[in-house]
Amino acid sequence: MDGLDTNLATVTLSSYPEKSARDALIEKADRERDLGCFNKALALYREAEAQQGDLSISIKIAGLLTEQGRTPAAVREWDQALDRYALTEKNEELLAVAELSRAVCAGAMNSRFRPALEKGLKYFEEYVKPFPLAIVLLLETAYSILRICGAQLGDLPWDQATVRELYEELIQCEMFDKAYHVAQFPNSGKIKSAMHDLTLLDDLMAQPKLPVLTHARILQWKGTLALESRNFDSWVSYLEEADALFRGEGHQLGPLWSKLERIHDDPRKKLPYIELKSVIVRIKDAFEELGCWGGAKDCMLKLATMAVKNADIETLQQLNHEYEQIRHDCMSTIDWTDKEELVLRHWDLQEHYAVKLIKSFEELFSIFQDSDMPLRAATVVTNLYKLYKHIGDNQKAELLASRLAEYTEFHSQPTLYIFHPLFRRLRAKSDDSARLPVTEEVAQLSNFLADKKARYAENIATFERTQIIQSIFYLQVLYSDRPFSEYKDLSLMCFDAVRTLLPLLPTGERATNEAQLLASIGGLCSAEAWQSFPPAIEPLIEAYNCDADAAGILESLENGGSALSTAYAGMGLAAQGLWFAESVTANRGAVDDPLFSEADDFLRRSLDIAAEERLLPIVQLSTSYLQSLWLQGLRFTMESKGKDDHTAKLALNQACAWLDTGKQLLEASRRDHSTLTKSSAMSGKQSTRAALPATTLYRNAFDLALRIESPRYLWSWVQDSKARSVSDILALGVNIPSTLREAIDRTLSTKELFDEETDLQGRLDTAEGASKVMLYEKLDALRERMSQDVLADAFLALREGRPTTIEALQTIAQMDSELRSVGGPMKICLRSEEFALRRSEARRRVFFVDYGFHQDSGFVLIAFDSTVTFSWTKVSVHEAAKWKSDWLAHQEPETPLSAAQADQDPYNPQLLDGEDAALAWLSRLVQPLVEISKPGDLLVICPSESLHGIPLHAAKFSGEDGKPTYFIERNPLVYTASMTVTEQCMARVTSHTSSLGDTASDSIVGVYRHPQPIRGMATRISQQFSRPFNIEVDRQITKTVVQDAWAKSKTALFFGHCGPGSRPAEQHLLLNDFHLEMRRLPRPEELFTVEDVFSTKISASLITLIACGSAAQLIRTGDEPVGLLAALLCSGANSVVGSMWPVESRTGVAFAEAFYKRIAMLVKSKTCPEAEIGVRRDRDMGRTMIDLAVVLQETIAELRRSQRPGFDTRSVIHWGAFTLNGAWLLNMPHVASAPNPGGNQVLS
């Protein structure tokens, strides 16, 4: 907006030739304005206007307001002037200037400059001779702004000769200040090009009558050009000379601008942050005192940028308050979005705030998307694209990428190279078969480089040249997934291209990019060294030297930042490689080796710089490097000196410390995702868990635990390694124990912390843009304080879903034991012998079982009491995945099915024909559990990676009596996404506050193409209960029906179809079964998705999904399954029963009736003779505690022994699909009344 402020200020036409007292006031005001005393000048203009107002004085006032940086006030002034004088003003040129000036100012307010441009061209054609100076300057302003904002325009309607003619005419009239503005026009109207023609400026400086102030402004302009070229000596010389001239004339603003530029922009003399902030604040106050709000706003932007870099939240909040105060009078839309985008983009570098930034950038995009600022819109889209990629929402990211295609004129802009077709293809990272042959890849790269070289040779800005070089560096990285020989050849092509482009850059930019080139070459050499084992020495030495040269260049610039951090990291990795090669060869490596120390030193330097610059990605990467370094050091030290050696213990402590640091960094990003909606938070946290720093962290932690042979340490990292996308969200509905709530209410200091949190959360609801991000940071700081308070920290631990502990699981096991103890409130099942189920002779024990993989080898951790047992399973990730594909994949029948057969939802896996062999193989996975447990013990199982979806409960082995037995016969089992999920679900189910209150209804919802059998099932189930029962079964239902059923029932059964979807949020229940006959895809309103689950306030403690594959979850890195089942647990359900694979409808009916029959028996009165399974009665609350694990075990046993006419459910394909997930206890209302044979039901 500088051009707008300056050029509008030059409009000084007058319609009064005679001189009067009013004219004397105007002359005096003009002089004060020239000296930068804007407030005095405005007062004098107002005094002159009071004597006699007209359009000319209004133009001066509005122009001064614009020069002050008060664009909104200027627009209001223009509006009042035109309303008052438009109909009476006879000077058409003066009226044209006013209308055009108003249009340009309005453009700054609404981001619409084309109307001003069109109007300016019209006036220019009408007044082309003699040149109307004001129109020329305004037109140039409109063109400048549109070019800066990215609009593709032709040249201005005059050539260089025309500009020269205008300049000479102004010189003859001795209008030197206006000649100075014209002399700034670049060649051929190429506005804002970096390649300026200084001929006119030099000629102007040679004019004998040139005013001193104009001379000073020219020197300032030349200083700016010298700074862009990083010619610091010339820059300082120009500024000092200009400053002397300004002071000699008594100019107020000139010295302030010079001082601001020198102290802020000189990289050679950087002041400490506090001192620099203090100086800029004083300059800002001086600008405000003079009425120069443009200068004050520039200072505020600089202060905001510095505050973000230095984590100065107090200054950011103060600045934000000041911005709000001046927004109405001084902030144009462009000013405001400049501030927002600048501050937000600096936060973007930290990634801790990536999620919080999304909404703010969306708000900016809503401003720019249909404006005359397509480049600004494209820049915001680029930021949003990166943010959505960061949280793992690739669908929205690609939608934004396609939206960017609307800005077709920017496809050649190097700032948007990530959207170039070549880059998008390479970023897709498809499999090897989809890669282009190397010859075609070389051809495409050659064309790209030739195109960029041609663009580079044009008369373009330094910034664009730098971006072209950066695009080539980025392209080189994208080739890294090709075979190394091809990657090397393509990389060398990119490096050669950069070498040819560097000479045209100014000294500073050339040095920075040369350092990056050296670092990139070093990275290539390092990769070449590791093509062999041990790594080759010569390439490592070359890599070290390249990175050292790069670091030397950057150190000389005194502002290396992320580039210097990267160079140090390269040196550290090269030194680590050399130490490793020597250690392997000589078999004597240790952490006290000089090469190891050098590697550690440089990696720490890299980390320190990244931390100082608050560059989270580099901090995470450097931390990962240090983890790997010290783990290698520990390994070689233990091998060469023994594990009890002092040096080995030092290495162990360092390795543990770096792992903890990495976990803390990961936690910060994880908390950031908590600000998203539940579904997006789940996806985002999984994406964070899948990123390189996280996968490296947990791989290193597992390696360390196994190396020191500590199952307990490994167990703690396994709990943490679960991405906790489910665990965190689940904790949002956690029930806080009443004792903790009461203690918080009694403790004033703790209660004040929660009151402050509530206040901040309320302000967040109405905050916008950077203000919202600042409030988030303040909220994070508050929660850090809360973590130091014992009571508040206990509350946060529950609410945030922190990983469970051995102690917490012990408490759960103890509670289960008390419920089932002799004389206790839970009885033992009396039908064990009938179903051949194994029961524990002593008290039932609870074992918490975690499966995992390390380097493709499977292991199992079994937690019981305070001990953790470790065993290898001898099953790899690949073998488990192969078992599923071999035995569970659907096989098409050899002969077509009849209509009756097709109606039974046939599922025909190989498991049908090879059940014994398939289930016997599973014994390899469960044998460690059989060896440590006894029959009847409860097993809580958390699978891992490819083990999800394998029916471990159906494993077949020789029992204690030597006879073949199924695991589910021997022990009741419950599955879980993580032990933290188990803890949270059990905490809810054992809390009375988690119940539905006095409501005691149950519901059945069915969607099936032949609804009558399902209605019959629903009726039979309802007859088992003695309380209201709601039934809704049809071929088509609405989402509201499902939501009401789950929100108003204690138990809820859904019978129908389940679809997987391509993303976790797209797994769904089908609400319309007509589409199968109509052979069309279901519409969105016919799908009840994960998103719909999250929008439902679920009160049902138990939800049973008799739907194909409803318990089959999409697995992401981090082991936690995500989908409908996880979403239900997060949204309020304590227990969910589902099926791992498709089951026949008859099987589903048989399971549902058997399962609910057992639950119904347990909620009847105590005198009912059918109540034979152990329950807990709470007479005061009128409640029954049901053991769902035993209920499921007996239900499966019944199915496995059932042989109905024409329908046999004894095969595992029928009963093996059903699993219980979450809590194994169901807290049910108890209704003491005789059963009603007809049942109580509402049937629709």
If you average pLDDT over residues 521-549, what whole number do you get? 93
Whether 13 has a pLDDT exceeding 50, the answer reads no
Q: What angle do CA 679, 680, 685 make, to 5 degrees?
A: 105
Residue 1168: per-residue pLDDT: 45
Whether 181 has a pLDDT exceeding 50, the answer reads yes
Most confident residue range from 7-21, 393-407, 596-610, 1182-1196:
596-610
Question: What is the identity of the amino acid at 899?
Answer: A
- For 679-822, strand residue ranges (E) read none
If you average pLDDT over residues 667-671, what whole number do you get? 73
Whether 433 has a pLDDT exceeding 60, the answer reads no
Residue 514: per-residue pLDDT: 92
pLDDT by residue (tens digit) across 961-990?
Answer: 778 899 999 999 999 988 988 888 888 887
Phi, psi of 148 (to 5 degrees): -60, -40
> CA nearest 63: which of 26, 17, 113?
26
What is the SS3 assignment for 897? Answer: coil
Residue 175: per-residue pLDDT: 81
Residue holding tokens 């996308």? 725
User: Residue ranges of the domains in the chain?
Assistant: 507-641, 744-800, 807-975, 990-1243
Residue 386: per-residue pLDDT: 77
936 backbone φψ class: left, alpha, beta (φ>0; ψ -120 to 50): left
What is the SS3 assignment for 941? Answer: strand
What's the rounded Cα separation, in Å, for the pair 70 and 38? 11
If you average pLDDT over residues 1188-1203, what whole number do you get? 88
Antiparallel, parallel or unpaired: β 846-854 and 938-942: parallel
Most confident residue range from 197-201, 861-865, 1009-1013, 1099-1103:
861-865
**How big is the chain, counted in residues?**
1244
Is 550 within 8 Å of 515 (Cβ atoms)? yes
What's the rounded Cα separation, in Å, for the pair 1049 and 996? 8
Residue holding tokens 């040679």? 206
Phi, psi of 1088 (to 5 degrees): -100, 100
pLDDT by residue (tens digit) across 1147-1192?
Answer: 899 999 999 988 888 877 454 444 444 455 444 445 678 899 999 9
The residues, ordered by sequence, that sit 6+ positions from 646 with a Cβ below 8 Å of its Cβ are: none
What's the rounded Cα separation, in Å, for the pair 764 and 756? 12
Whether 721 has a pLDDT exceeding 70, the answer reads yes
pLDDT by residue (tens digit) across 489-499?
Answer: 999 999 999 99
What's the rounded Cα separation, in Å, for the pair 1021 and 1149? 10
Residue 738 confidence class, pLDDT cut points 50, 70, 90: low
Residue 437: per-residue pLDDT: 87
Q: What is the mean pLDDT of the chain?
A: 79
Residue 1078: per-residue pLDDT: 57
What's the rounded Cα separation, in Å, for the pair 1161 and 996? 20
What's the rounded Cα separation, in Å, for the pair 586 and 211? 78
pLDDT by residue (tens digit) across 319-363?
Answer: 878 887 887 777 777 777 777 766 665 555 555 556 667 777 787
DSSP per-residue string spanning 665-684:
HHHHHHHHHTTS-HHHHHHH
If you average pLDDT over residues 403-422, what whole number do you get? 55
Residue 329: per-residue pLDDT: 78
The residues, ordered by sequence, that sit 6+ positions from 376 with a Cβ below 8 Å of its Cβ are: 111, 149, 150, 337, 341, 368
Q: Where are the alpha helices (DSSP H) in 391-506?
A: 394-404, 421-427, 438-456, 462-478, 484-501
Whether 1209 has a pLDDT exceeding 90, the answer reads no
294-308, 771-785, 879-893, 1160-1174: least confident range: 1160-1174
Residue 200: per-residue pLDDT: 80
What's the rounded Cα separation, in Å, for the pair 779 and 656? 30
685-699, 866-880, 1074-1088: least confident range: 1074-1088
The larger pLDDT score, comparing residue 709 to residue 910, is at: 709
Phi, psi of 737 (to 5 degrees): -55, 140
Residue 766 confidence class, pLDDT cut points 50, 70, 90: confident
If you average pLDDT over residues 698-719, what whole number do you get? 91
281-290, 343-352, 699-708, 1020-1029: least confident range: 343-352
pLDDT by residue (tens digit) across 618-666?
Answer: 888 899 999 999 999 998 998 888 888 888 899 999 999 999 998 888 7
Residue 1206: per-residue pLDDT: 64
Antiparallel, parallel or unpaired: β 964-966 and 956-958: antiparallel
What's the rounded Cα separation, in Å, for the pair 110 and 370? 11
Residue 371: per-residue pLDDT: 75
Q: Do domains 507-641 and 990-1243 have the same CATH topology?
A: no
**In the structure encoding, which two tokens stand for residue 688, read together?**
């964070």
Q: Please give the share of the chain, as a percent, with pLDDT higher than 70.
A: 77
Whether 1088 has a pLDDT exceeding 70, the answer reads yes
Is 257 within 8 Å of 245 (Cβ atoms)? no
Residue 1076: per-residue pLDDT: 58
The residues, ordered by sequence, that sit 6+ positions from 583 with a Cβ below 8 Å of its Cβ are: 589, 590, 593, 636
Cα 889 → chain centroid: 35
| Cα–Cα separations (whole angstroms), residue 1130 to 908, 949, 1122 | 33, 20, 11
If you average pLDDT over residues 1103-1121, what whole number do you get? 76
Whether 942 has a pLDDT exceeding 70, the answer reads yes
Burial of 429 (0-12, 13-18, 19+ CB in 10 A): exposed
Residue 1243: per-residue pLDDT: 40
> CA nearest 1111: which of 956, 962, 1222?
1222
pLDDT by residue (tens digit) across 466-516?
Answer: 888 888 998 898 888 889 999 999 999 999 999 999 988 877 788 889 999
CATH of domain 507-641: 1.25.40
Q: What angle do CA 70, 72, 76 make, to 5 degrees?
A: 115
What is the SS3 assignment for 977? Answer: coil
What's the rounded Cα separation, in Å, for the pair 1163 and 491? 72
Residue 837: per-residue pLDDT: 60
Residue 418: per-residue pLDDT: 54
Whether 878 has a pLDDT exceeding 70, the answer reads yes
Whether 614 has a pLDDT exceeding 90, the answer reads no
What's the rounded Cα separation, in Å, for the pair 677 and 684? 10
What's the rounded Cα separation, in Å, for the pair 989 and 675? 27
Whether 939 has a pLDDT exceeding 90, the answer reads yes
Residue 941: per-residue pLDDT: 95
The residues, ordered by sequence, that sit 6+ positions from 1133 with a Cβ below 8 Å of its Cβ are: 1046, 1098, 1100, 1101, 1102, 1103, 1222
Residue 89: per-residue pLDDT: 81
Whether 15 has a pLDDT exceeding 60, the answer reads no
The larger pLDDT score, comparing residue 397 to residue 18, is at: 397
What class, spelled out in words, does domain 990-1243 have in CATH? alpha beta
What's the rounded Cα separation, in Å, for the pair 1050 and 931? 38
Residue 861: per-residue pLDDT: 95
DSSP per-residue string spanning 34-93:
HTT-HHHHHHHHHHHHHHS--HHHHHHHHHHHHHHT-HHHHHHHHHHHHHHHTTT---HH
**In the structure encoding, which two tokens stand for residue 760, read together?**
């901040």
Residue 286: per-residue pLDDT: 92
The residues, ordered by sequence, that sit 6+ positions from 636 with a Cβ below 8 Å of its Cβ are: 583, 589, 590, 591
What's the rounded Cα separation, in Å, for the pair 1021 and 1028? 12
pLDDT by residue (tens digit) across 128-173?
Answer: 555 456 656 656 665 665 555 555 555 555 566 777 777 787 788 8
Residue 190: per-residue pLDDT: 38
What is the SS3 assignment for 851? Answer: strand
Whether 1130 has a pLDDT exceeding 60, the answer reads yes
The residues, ordered by sequence, that sit 6+ positions from 442 with a Cβ below 8 Å of its Cβ are: 489, 490, 493
Buried b (16+ CB within 10 A) or exposed e, 812-838: bbeebbebbeeeeebbebeebeebebb
Residue 906: per-residue pLDDT: 61
The larger pLDDT score, comparing residue 842 to residue 76, is at: 76
Buried b (16+ CB within 10 A) or exposed e, 82-102: beebeeebebeebbbbbbbbb
What's the rounded Cα separation, in Å, for the pair 401 and 424? 9
Whether 410 has a pLDDT exceeding 50, the answer reads no
If you average pLDDT over residues 771-791, what whole number do you get? 81
Phi, psi of 516 (to 5 degrees): -65, -35
What's the rounded Cα separation, in Å, for the pair 875 and 946? 11
> CA nearest 300: which of 352, 269, 351, 342?
342
Is 1092 within 8 Å of 1066 (Cβ atoms)? no
